[in-house]
Amino acid sequence: MLGLALSVAASALAAGLLFAGAAKPAHAEFEIQEAEVEKGEVEIEYRGAVHWGFPAGEKQEAGAEEGALEDEEEAPLRQSHDLETEWGITDRWLVSATFTADQPLGENFETSAVEFEVQYEIIEPQGKGLGIAFNVSYGIATRGGNADEIEFGPIVDYEVGKLALTLNPFLTTQVGENRETDGLGFQYGWRAEYEVADHWGIGAEMFGEIEDLANAGSFDDQNHSIGPTLFYNPGENDENVGGEGDDDDENNKKASGPAEMEFSFNVGVQFGLTDVTSDTALKFQGSLSF
């Protein structure tokens, strides 16, 4: 089964890179964060996204002469890639660092941000049930003209039977001399996943962003997308549904230390719901924990 998972993951990643070479823009890496923290566990995660189908306003920019977008402060993206390393330093505290690279239309592929993150697990689920954590991150923009960003908010997991739900409602604020908004923004993601076979699940994910809550505009002026996702979760038994392989006896797992090396992934498609969202996006997320 692991060999099949690796083959599927490799195929999905190859497809993503092919799209990246010829696709239109990408907007985000489509991350869903989970509340569970496991002491001593290290996880390396890759997230990538490619978009095609420019929003109406960006189609005109895309049709401009070569180099016309080089002076745009926020040019539309062809692709984006995140590489994250996280470490559970205690049973409750987790720290991580993420490097983001992307390629705006008409510009070179380069690192665009470095993000540092701290997470505290408030409610630890006993087997299945409710889990809640609080997350704070600081993103340092490495491309000139972009603002640094602080993001904070709760992470909520709930698992019952073969169904797992995860919510990420975060507030954001820009900082530094390049900020474009003085108030708070809002960014969200949610996932519903249902186990259909041992270690395999299908579900839906939705993502959205309001850059300035004080000037949110109409729904059609905001970025929102939704779509199906396929999941592979190795877990520790055949009853796992969650994205990190929960054990039915959480206390025993905490006492025995981190699990052996495990690989998990999900691949999905997102469909834009508004005029300012790309028509379609391919997303991939793969993680190796040990």
Query: Is 290 part of any domain?
Result: no
Closest C-alpha among 264, 280, 262, 282 to residue 272: 280
Amino acid at 108: N
Query: Is 92 part of any domain?
Result: yes
Tens of pLDDT, residue by residue, the chain (290 residues): 434 433 434 444 343 333 333 333 334 479 999 999 999 999 999 999 988 876 655 555 555 444 444 444 445 566 889 999 999 999 999 999 999 998 766 677 888 999 999 999 999 988 789 999 999 999 999 988 889 999 999 999 999 999 999 999 999 999 988 899 889 999 999 999 999 999 999 999 999 999 999 999 999 999 999 999 999 998 745 444 444 444 444 455 444 554 589 999 999 999 999 988 889 999 999 999 99
Q: Contact 47/270 with Cβ under 8 angstroms?
A: no
* Residue 246 belongs to domain spanning: 2-285
Q: How far apart are CA 245 and CA 237, in angstroms?
A: 8
Phi, psi dihedrals of residue 261, rounded to the nearest 5°: -55, 130
Query: Is 275 part of any domain?
Result: yes
Strand duo 163-175 + 130-141: pairing = unpaired
What torsion do the CA atoms of 240, 242, 247, 253 make, to the nearest 10 degrees? 150
pTM of the model: 0.79
Q: How far apart are CA 115 and CA 112, in angstroms?
A: 10
| Partner residues linked to 50 by β-bridges | 79, 282
> In angstroms, what CA-CA distances link 74 with 27, 61, 102, 155?
11, 12, 12, 29
Count the domains in the chain: 1
CATH number for the domain spanning 107: value is: 2.40.160.40
Written in H, E and C, the secondary structure of the chain is CHHHHHHHHHHHHHHHHHHHHHCCCCCCCCCCCCCCCCCCCEEEEEEEEEEECCCHHHHHHHCCCCCCCCCCCCCCEEEEEEEEEEEECCCCEEEEEEEEEEEECCCCCEEEEEEEEEEEEEECCCCCCEEEEEEEEEEEECCCCCCEEEEEEEEEEEEECCEEEEEEEEEEEEECCCCCCCCCEEEEEEEEEEEEECCEEEEEEEEEEECCHHHCCCHHHCEEEEEEEEEECCCCCCCCCCCCCCCCCHHHHHHHCCCCCEEEEEEEEEEECCCCCCCEEEEEEEEEEC
Closest C-alpha among 275, 269, 274 to residue 12: 269
Q: How far apart are CA 105 and CA 75, in angstroms?
A: 6
